[in-house]
Amino acid sequence: MVQVRPVTSNHKQLDRTLTLAYGQTYYINVSTSNMNSSNYYEIYYSGSNRYGGGCFWYYNGPYWYSISSSDLFFYTNHNDVPYDENGHGTHVSGIIAAKSNNGRGVAGVSFGAKIMPLKALDYRGVGYSADITDAIYYAADNGADIINMSLGSYGRSSAMSDAIEYAYKKGVAVLAASGNDNTTAIMYPAGYENVIGVGATTNKDTRASFSNHNSSVDVSAPGDYIYSTMPTYTVMLNTYGLSRNYEYLSGTSMACPMAAGVGALTLSRNPGMSPSQLALALEQTADDLGPKGRDNDFGYGRVNAYRAVTSSSPQHTWYLAEGSTAWGFICSIGIMNPNPSDVTVKITYMTDTGEVDGGTYKVHAMSAGYADPQAILGEKDFSTKVECLEKKPIAVDRTMFFAPPGSDGTVFEGHASVGVNAPAKQWFLPEGSSSWGFECWLLIQNPNSSEAKCDVTYMIEGEGPKTVPHTIPAHSRKTFNMADDINSRDASIKVTSNIPVIPERAMYRNNRREGHDSIGTTAPAKDYYLAEGTTAWGFTTYVLVQNPNNSATDVTITYMTPAGPKEQPKFTMAANSRKTIKVNDAPGVSSTDLSTRVHGSKPIIAERAMYWIGGEDSGEACHDSIGMAEPHKKFYLPTGETGGDYGAETYTLVQNLNTSSVKVRVTYVTGNGEGNVKFDATIPGQSRRTFNMADKVPAGGYGVIVESLTAGKPIMVERSMYFLGRACGTDTIGGYSD
């Protein structure tokens, strides 16, 4: 039942029942003998409930009309079918995520992004802070990564501020328009703490004349005369002469989604970024337009999408989920400072009883050293966080050594892994087995101040996926045994969490005579690269491929050998599955060193594990590493050693994916930055080279830096280490920059 009701509270029931079809537009003429234009009307249903899409209207002649000269109208507007009655929201959304390459209109800044449209204002763009606050909570609880708020007022709301803080703590970045009144007064939410306030610029990189200029402006973005999408149906803005489909609008409301779109692009490259890291990335990569440094007109400058995406990896902070000085493990944290000046690092250990301060240390310029967790923790399981207090890039990895329980320690194994730069809500780990005599442990680090609820999905080889829920307390790490979740199986792992976390996976076999470990990756890609690999020298190499898609994926593997690339036959992987490839059995790659490219018709993830016989006991040893989705200009590997009491060997594997040769520079950095050794080498196209540390430096510990000197030709790098006649081996990728 539809009614119109004057504000004086008297109901006027229609003379018949109207049946409204879902999503349709209805026009109502209201005639009245009352010529008082202040007598507003609303649309009600069921006698007393105001229809959510109803609005106030006024008298303008013999009939009641909307603000324009068109008839009074309203829309059936169910929550699951968003309907923009104003046009502003559609314009903002198009700036962020309008489709590209379709021959129509415009392309959004982040045209692959998904929009969660939440309607908190009425057709005029007017509403209540309580509704906006509810929308913030809804977005934070339902998977939003970025909240764009192209709205504001000059009044503060403690409830809205609390909602923004809630979103921030859940890993959601909030951007807000600074306002369009050319004033120094602060508009909210742009002025709240933990909000990225956005001002507007012109196409000449000047401040837009309307843009507010005050301390709330963190960055700026184009906001003057911006072309974007409009609804295809008549809306409020059309009454001012604006067009359907596409139109130009100006305002910080347009600048804000420009910056939010750049933020979305940046997150697509670095999915684990926290809101503060994203803010720092946007600020540090912006083009400074005003006085040097931050100013009230432009904040830190106009956002630069290219620089934000290519330079924003927050490598001043590192996390390592695995770590133990108990159970016979010996653990060290490798830290490299590749900067030309000294830096200070702070270490925090996260244990089952909470955080432990690991101390603050000076790291010399262009040097690499170690931290000893046992000196702080004694015997303890832990995760690690390492921060550079100067916010300069560093590189961090972790090495763990262990011997079979009850052994005399003359033979031991080890594993190593680079850290990750930020927690994330989703992770993939292609390798995993609780079969073949393996123990498989999933370590999940929760650096947040609230409990993490994780769904661990095992993509079982030859079977369907199985999901198991797990909970990790705040500021702690927990360990889960794969066998407890799925018994004896080969499986890839997917971890999804309500708040950002960091997982690692460790595997052991033969009473821990052998073991390996790896981080995961936050996003699948159509190509994954693995620099290390060999079917010679007694090694057996496996490539593990994970298909996390809900549909089948075609996969092609190409091995890059000294004799050139060797493409293998295509195979198909079922949805949400994993496949193991024994490289030694592949045609054309017997007894050769190789690197690997794994290509999927849909995004996939790849990892590589290697096994061999070594040491006085002729026992099996192994190491493992996750692949990388793209090459980079420069790599940093903090840990390396040659010679010494345990006969250390360190090899740096450099993969050239380009079709032509690449010149690289390898630098071995010492513990104090003095006496560093560097040399240049050439790597032919689509091949890989191995560099033995012992060929260039005397016995000792060194970090490794590898840089491509050929413009526009990035590389892939891994580092493998062996001890005691290869009774023990470790391998890892490193940090990188572009």
SS3 275: helix
Cα separation values, 413 from 365, 372, 617, 626, 644, Å: 32, 18, 12, 19, 17
Q: Which residue(s) pair with 9 in the sheet?
A: none
SS3 467: strand
Cα separation values, 183 from 186, 219, 654, Å: 8, 17, 55
- Within 170-242, residue ranges assigned H as helices are none
d(CA 147, CA 196): 10
Catalytic residue of the set 71, 295, 342, 455? 71
- Three-state secondary structure readout of 136-168: HHHHHHCCCCEEEECCCECCCCHHHHHHHHHHH
d(CA 40, CA 421): 57
Q: Is 408 a catalytic residue?
A: no
d(CA 540, CA 215): 60
CB 722 within 8 A of CB 416: no
Helices 129-141 and 158-169, axial angle in degrees (round to 10): 10
Residues 301-312 as b or e (16 or more Cβ within 10 Å = b): bbbbbebbbbeb
d(CA 599, CA 621): 29
**Residue in this structure with the two tokens 């009655």, named with its chain if needed:** 85
d(CA 470, CA 491): 17
Among 462, 679, 448, residue whose Cα is nearest residue 579: 462
Catalytic residue of the set 66, 88, 110, 145? 88
Report which DSSP code applies to 315.
T
- Within 273-373, residue ranges assigned H as helices are 275-284, 305-311
Element counts in the chain: helices (H) and strands (E): 8, 49
Cα separation values, 12 from 8, 9, 33, 56, 73, Å: 11, 10, 14, 16, 17
d(CA 266, CA 309): 5
Catalytic residue of the set 66, 93, 253, 274? 253
Q: Is 253 a catalytic residue?
A: yes
At 714, list the tokens.
């990035």
d(CA 558, CA 471): 39
At 245, list the tokens.
């489909």
d(CA 22, CA 78): 8
Cα separation values, 63 from 7, 69, 442, Å: 17, 10, 70
What phi and psi, each to the nearest 5 degrees, are found at residue 294? -75, 140
Q: Is 243 a catalytic residue?
A: no
Taken as a whole, the chain contains a residue count of 738
End-to-end C-alpha distance for the chain, whole angstroms? 63
d(CA 556, CA 196): 43
d(CA 454, CA 444): 9
Which residues form the catalytic set?
71, 88, 253
